[in-house]
Structure 1
Amino acid sequence: MGDDAQRSALGRRSVLLGLAAVGAIAAVDVAGFLGAGGALTSDTLTPSRFTDGFEDVYGRHDGFRRNHAKGIAATGYFTANGAGSAISTASVFRPGRVPVTGRFSLSGGLPHGADASDTVRGLGLLFDLPKGEQWRTAMVDIPVFPDRTPDGFYERLLASNKDPATGKPDPDRMSAFLARHPETAAAMEVIRRHPHTAGFEDSTFHGLNAFHCTDAAGAVVAVRWKLLPLQTIRRSEPAAAPNYLFDALADTIASGPLHWRMLLTIGQPEDPTDDATTPWPESRDTLDVGTLTLDALQTEGPGTARDITFDPLVLPEGIAPCDDPLLSARSAVYTESFTRRSGEAKQPSAVDAAEVPDER
């Protein structure tokens, strides 16, 4: 079979997957904060237009994020073991403990939508480092990003919009999108081979984009990071209640802290740093740099993660962005989303950390 035929066949096989999952991954948390200086690379795809796209697909919900609207805040700490200092001067990798503010979320722009087992799960983290530095990262439980460029992401977002007549995305429109973007069809196949686990607490969270780490001698390497759960991994189950994923998270953390190991995957020169749809080989070396511990949840409100944007361009010295066009786009769109919701009346979150059912 020729290359064109293979891409066409892959696209057709992935259409049904795309239609089932696109509502979940059409909005992996992509936004930023005013000080990061991100910008979209397209002359026509502005941050405002991108943010309008989320509102077109999900409606406008004042006071909430335009993507990953449903969530709950968390607090804890990161304990570095010192291994990361071999490749980066970043203070976060020096032996010791630093405070962390986090946010668990579900992708999409519906702040009161029902939990679903196949919705992409997010974990945003802010590491509060010495001398006023911060490290912010937004991670998700899929191993690659569905789109290579901001324009592709925006086009897929609109293709996922539901037809008013059927209440479902138009399969012809999605099929046409996948035919134009074989890289997305291939990424969806990679995602399909990594099914969701039972909940937030046993999910592996991926940073997706590549970054550059610089060591004390000035040597630079490309890395990707992920969090591996130390909790027992369980198989995903059908939804049991509208907030069942958050309820289970609150119930579990009430019994004791949750832990994840942070692994840095070291890229080689041939590994792409500008394409988040392509996984790096599993044979690449990894560094276990420490353990994330989250030990408390808070209902979103003033003083919690509600008003934090997990901008991927807020980085400590020793970690720098690479050439991935999604990074500047995420920062720019986050800025727009933050600006809009900052000027809107705040509404109660659908997830209340204090309301954990006694039994399920």
Structure 2
Amino acid sequence: MPDSSDTSPPQRQVWRWGVIAVAVMILALAFAYVGGWLTPRRLTPQRIVNALQDNGGVHPGYRRNHAKGICVAGYFEGSGAASAYSTASVFRNVRTPVVGRFAIPGGNPYAPDGSTAIRSLALRFDLPHGQQWRTGMNNIPVFVVATPEAFYQLTVATRPDPATGKPDPARAGAFFASHPEAAAFLAWAKSHKPSASFATDSYDALDAFYLVDAHGQQHAARWRVVPEASDEVGAAPKSDDNDFLSQDLQQRLAAAPQRWRLLVTLAAPGDPTNDATKAWPVDRTTIDAGTLVIESEQPQDSGPCRDINYDPTVLPEGIRISDDPLLPARSAAYADSYLRRTREEAHFPGTAQADAAKPESK
């Protein structure tokens, strides 16, 4: 009598195909979950970027946020002072090439420079052996919200009303009333006087990171860059010039390189590393890590920054991300935005360049 465990060749083939089918199904379900198809209420990078796109409009080939910007290049001269806290070569007494981008927030690449008081500076440090350090900073001392979910809700709450082109005050007010953590940002926004130049602003990374020393010990840190230049007395943004920030930077760089000090602040025990809405006390240890020198600029449609995704989680050895929930969310959303705009350029070569040549973009 045959052994009941024996399986005929046709049965074995069916069994194998069944295993393959189950594996494919599991993979498909995994992709569906990541894409949010099975959990439509779950926040995904696509939903965040869609919300940004809904606010700023669709401009093929451009970033979905901070769409209007200018490429810059230069170097960072490390002072060596931060080397005791991090093994990253950028902090040694060496020169590291930098490719950066100044920008204003929003998805409209034609927005007037005076439409917002917020400016940004993104940098890519090109370290030896193919390592990179990418960081995105803003001229604000704290972020407006602490979580990706709150950022998404804020984006929806401040969506421009088609009738007025501005956010609905009642809807925006209701959001801020339910998010008291935004109070520090709102206080800054109420009192802040916009500078007249990209070159005279300080830029803060806001999120916490860990510096890792030669012994493997982690040191919670935040960093910012502080300019050596300053606004002239009475200087103010030019309300009649939509592109005054890029023109001012061009003029300054034609005269001389522009410089910032990179200041690294170390946390004390108990300082929050997972909440970018909370500033650390001003008496914390701050290290002058070196000098950022910007030497040149180029239009973003043809400059070296165009194809860079300034993902703040791209870090060299000696720097690690913290438990701040905004960091992985920023990484994922940046990647989605990058894929959208590069796909648009691939399907419609010259999209951004042709779009920039439209009369309304001048």
TM-score of Structure 1 vs Structure 2, range by shorter chain: 0.7 to 0.9
Q: Secondary structure, in 3 states, of the residue corresponding to 1:274?
A: coil
Distance 1:96 1:126 in 2: 16
Match of 2:311 in 1: 311
Q: Secondary structure, in 3 states, of the residue corresponding to 2:269?
A: coil
Distance 2:279 2:82 in 1: 22
**2:202 is matched with which residue: 201, 204, 215?**
204
Kindly tell me: are residues 265 and 233 of structure 1, through their superposed partners in 2, closer, same or farther at Cα, counting changes over 3 Å?
farther
**2:104 is matched with which residue: 98, 103, 106?**
106
Distance 1:54 1:160 in 2: 10
Are the aligned partners of 2:104 and 2:116 in contact in 1 as well (CA < 8 Å)?
no
Q: Secondary structure, in 3 states, of the residue corresponding to 2:301?
A: coil
Give deviations 1:113-161, integer Å, cap 9, x for gaps.
1111643111110000011100000011111110110111111111111
Match of 2:255 in 1: 255
| Structure 2 unaligned residues grouped into runs of 5+ | 1-33, 346-350, 358-362
Kindly tell me: are residues 267 and 91 of structure 1, through their superposed partners in 2, closer, same or farther at Cα, counting changes over 3 Å?
same
Q: Does 1:268 align with 2:268?
A: yes
Give deviations 1:297-334, integer Å, cap 9, x for gaps.
01123561011011110001111000000000000000
Kindly tell me: are residues 161 and 117 of structure 1, through their superposed partners in 2, closer, same or farther at Cα, counting changes over 3 Å?
closer
Distance 2:119 2:163 in 1: 29
Distance 1:304 1:258 in 2: 18
Are the aligned partners of 2:194 and 2:237 in contact in 1 as well (CA < 8 Å)?
no
Distance 2:195 2:297 in 1: 20
Distance 1:193 1:214 in 2: 37
Are the aligned partners of 1:262 and 1:288 in contact in 2 as well (CA < 8 Å)?
yes
Match of 2:324 in 1: 324
Match of 1:290 in 2: 290
Counterparts of 1:164-179 in structure 2, within 5 Å, are 164-179=162-177
Cα distance, 1:350 vs structure 2: 8.6
Are the aligned partners of 1:39 and 1:329 in contact in 2 as well (CA < 8 Å)?
no
Match of 1:347 in 2: 352
Distance 2:104 2:355 in 1: 12
Are the aligned partners of 1:142 and 1:205 in contact in 2 as well (CA < 8 Å)?
yes
Aligned residues: 314
Q: Secondary structure, in 3 states, of the residue corresponding to 1:123?
A: strand
Match of 1:29 in 2: none
Distance 2:252 2:199 in 1: 8
| Structure 1 unaligned residues grouped into runs of 5+ | 1-37, 353-360
Are the aligned partners of 1:162 and 1:169 in contact in 2 as well (CA < 8 Å)?
yes
Kindly tell me: are residues 96 and 306 of structure 1, through their superposed partners in 2, closer, same or farther at Cα, counting changes over 3 Å?
same
Distance 1:43 1:313 in 2: 26
Are the aligned partners of 2:226 and 2:260 in contact in 1 as well (CA < 8 Å)?
yes
Cα distance, 1:217 vs structure 2: 2.0
Are the aligned partners of 1:142 and 1:194 in contact in 2 as well (CA < 8 Å)?
no
Matching residue's letter, 1:119: A
Q: Secondary structure, in 3 states, of the residue corresponding to 1:307?
A: coil
Match of 1:226 in 2: 224
Deviates more, 1:218-227 or 1:301-310: 301-310
Distance 1:104 1:158 in 2: 25
Q: Higher relative contact order by CA 8 Å / sep ≥ 6: 1 or 2?
A: 1
Give deviations 1:79-133, integer Å, cap 9, x for gaps.
0010010111111101110110011111100001111164311111000001110
Are the aligned partners of 2:238 and 2:244 in contact in 1 as well (CA < 8 Å)?
no
Kindly tell me: are residues 143 and 350 of structure 1, through their superposed partners in 2, closer, same or farther at Cα, counting changes over 3 Å?
farther
Q: Secondary structure, in 3 states, of the residue corresponding to 2:344?
A: coil
Counterparts of 1:13-92 in structure 2, within 5 Å, are 44-92=42-90
Are the aligned partners of 2:237 and 2:244 in contact in 1 as well (CA < 8 Å)?
no
Cα distance, 1:191 vs structure 2: 4.2
Cα distance, 1:283 vs structure 2: 0.9
Query: Any runs of at least 4 consecutive aligned residues in structure 1 with deviations exceeding 3 A, and if so which?
Result: 190-195, 233-238, 349-352
Q: Secondary structure, in 3 states, of the residue corresponding to 1:99?
A: strand
Give deviations 1:19-46, integer Å, cap 9, x for gaps.
xxxxxxxxxxxxxxxxxxx999x97111
Alignment RMSD: 2.1
Are the aligned partners of 1:212 and 1:220 in contact in 2 as well (CA < 8 Å)?
yes
Are the aligned partners of 1:263 and 1:286 in contact in 2 as well (CA < 8 Å)?
yes
**1:141 is matched with which residue: 124, 139, 142?**
139
Kindly tell me: are residues 106 and 139 of structure 1, through their superposed partners in 2, closer, same or farther at Cα, counting changes over 3 Å?
same
Kindly tell me: are residues 189 and 63 of structure 1, through their superposed partners in 2, closer, same or farther at Cα, counting changes over 3 Å?
same
Cα distance, 1:269 vs structure 2: 1.3
Distance 1:73 1:286 in 2: 29
